[in-house]
Copies of this chain bind each other. A is one copy, B any other.
C-alpha cells in the first residue's frame, strides 16, 4: 500500500492503482440530507427519496501517526484510516447525526467486476447497475418487462425488480481482490453504474467501513467471514436422503411418505410446515402462525416424531418471528409487552396477506428470551430436528416503537440477524447442533454466524431468468461472495400465481440440479392442489429416487465442502474464478458453478433445452455421466432429463467416488 498526502489531498494505492482518493476535483465523501418516503404492502416496499442536499466534504488537514491517518474535513467531520498489511478500516468521527445521507467512493476501472451485495438473484456481476440494500419480499417475476411482474405489481405492489432480495448486504468483493463492508444497517445502495468509481450510499454516516485484501479469492473470503461470521455446521443426517415437504396433517402426510419410500426414495426427514395449523388465503395454503403443534392435524406430534426417528426419519417444522392475532401465543406476548407497538404504545399489527400479526420486538432482551423458549418448548422439546425459520423482512418503519429506542429505519435491515440469533440461542442452549438445523431466506450483515443454512426464497414455478430456477444458482454464488456459503432451494419452486403452474419438466430439472447442492428439499408450493407434485407421478418418484441416491453417494465429498465453509468461509457452490482466477472467461459465468474445487455443474435452467452451453477452464475435466475426458474451453454439452452437465477433476482425491457414481447412474455422452 502506498499513501500520497497533502493538506487537501489523500491517495491510497494498492500496487500501481489508486483505491482511495480525495482531491478537490475528485472528492471521496459526500454528505447531505434527504427525506425518504416508504410504503410497505405485505413485505414489498415502495421507496422514494427526495434529496435535498448533497455536498462534497472538503479536506482540510491530514495527520499521520504511524499507520493511522486522520483526515479532517469541513463540517467538523473526521475520518480515521487505520492501515495494516491486509486491511484498511475507516472510522468516522464528529457530529455525524447532522447528516442523514452519505456517499463514499472508491476508484474503479472499466474492466473491474464486483460480486456480492448479499444474495442477489438476477445479476452476479454487479457492475453497470445499482443495488438498493433493503430486506424485503423478492417480488414475483422480478422483471418489469414480464407480464407476471406487471400483474403482481398491479394487484399487490408485489412484482419486484432485479435488486429485490430477502438478504441484501452492503458489502462486495472486487476483482481487484479486496472486499468492502459497510458497517451500517441503514438503507443503503451499492452503485456500480460508473466506470471510474464505485459509490456506496448510506442513509446515515456509517460507524465504519472495512476493506481487506488478499492475493487470492479463497483467502479474501476467509478474511471476510472471519469478520462477518461463518455458518454453524449442519448435522450430517441431512445427507442421508431427501427432506420431503408435505402438508395436510398426519393422515395425508404419512401415506404419501410411505409411497415415496416404497418407490426407493431415501428420506432423511419429512418437513411439515403446517404443523401448527393451516390457513387458507387467496394466495394459497398457508399456515396458522401460532407456534404450537396442532393436535387436530398432527395428533400427539411428539409420539409421531419418535416413531419416525425410530425409522431413521427426522421431523421438521416451520417458524417465523410473528404471531397471528387469533392464535394462543399472541395474547401471552401481548400481555408481556413483547410486541413492537405504535409510538403511543397501542397495538401494531402487520398484514401478512389476509391475516394480521404482531411483531416480536427482538430489541427487547426479554422478548428474545421468551421467543427462544417458545422455540425450545414447543419445537425442540418435541424432538423436532429442524425448521424453516421464515421471514424477518417485514419490520415496518412507520409509527413503530421498539424497546431499544432505535429507529425502525436502522433496525429493519438488522431484523433478520436478530431473528437468526434467537434461533441460534435456542439450539445452542440445548446443545443440539449435532442434530438440529434451520434454514432462512432473510439475511443481512452478521446473519452469517447465526444461521446454518440459507434457502433461496420463493422462486416462481417457472424457467424465467429473474424469478425461476436460474436465480437459485445466481443467489447461491452471490451469497457466497457475501460470506454465506451454504444454500439450497425449494425443489420445484414455490410461487404459483396468475396461471403460472409448476410443470413436471420444471420439477425434474430442479431435482437434478439439487442433487449437486448441499441439501435436497421438496416443497409443494403455495397452491399444492393445482401444481405438479412428484409424489403423484411414479416416473417422477423414480427419477427423484435416482437423484437423491446420487446426492447421498456424494456425501463424503459434500460433507468436506460444508466443513470447509464452516471453518474457512469457502462456499460450497463457488464461481469458477475462485479457483481459476487467471482465466478471464470464468468471471462472467452465473449459471454454472464449482461444487467445491473438484466438480463443475451446469444445470439446465431453461425449458425444452437438452444441451447446455458452458465453459471448462484449463484442467483435466471428466464428464460425470460418461467418463469422457474433456478438452477445456467453451462447449455445448448434452443434458437430457436426469443428466445435468457435471464434470469432475481427474486429479481430485474423490475421483474414484465420482467415477463410481458415473458408472452406477451414467450412460450419457457429453
Contacts and interface: CB of A to CB of B under 8 A. Distances in A.
Nearest to A150: B150
Q: Which 10 A-B pairs have the closest CB atoms?
A: A55-B55, A150-B150, A54-B54, A145-B154, A53-B54, A51-B51, A53-B55, A51-B54, A53-B56, A32-B54
A147 interface: yes
Interface in A635-651: none
A193 interface: yes
Interface residues of A, number: 17
Interface string A150-168: 1001100000000000000
A618 interface: no
A92 B65 CA distance: 47
Q: Which of A32, A144, A145, A150 has the most CB of B within 10 A?
A: A150
Contact of A54 (B55, B144, B147, B153): B55
Interface in A315-335: none
Nearest to A146: B154
A193 B51 CA distance: 13
A498 interface: no
Contacts of A51: 51, 54
Contacts of A193: 50
Nearest to A155: B145
A147 B498 CA distance: 14
Interface in A241-271: none
A55 B32 CA distance: 8
Nearest to A193: B50
14 contacts: A30-B52, A32-B54, A50-B194, A51-B51, A51-B54, A52-B54, A53-B54, A53-B55, A54-B54, A55-B55, A144-B153, A145-B153, A147-B150, A150-B150
Interface string A162-203: 000000000000000000000000000000011000000000
Given A30-B53, A51-B51, A51-B54, 16 more contacts: A30-B52, A32-B54, A50-B193, A50-B194, A52-B54, A53-B54, A53-B55, A53-B56, A54-B54, A54-B55, A55-B55, A144-B153, A145-B153, A145-B154, A147-B150, A150-B150
A449 to B, nearest CB: 36
A55 B145 CA distance: 37
A51 B33 CA distance: 13
Interface in A543-599: none
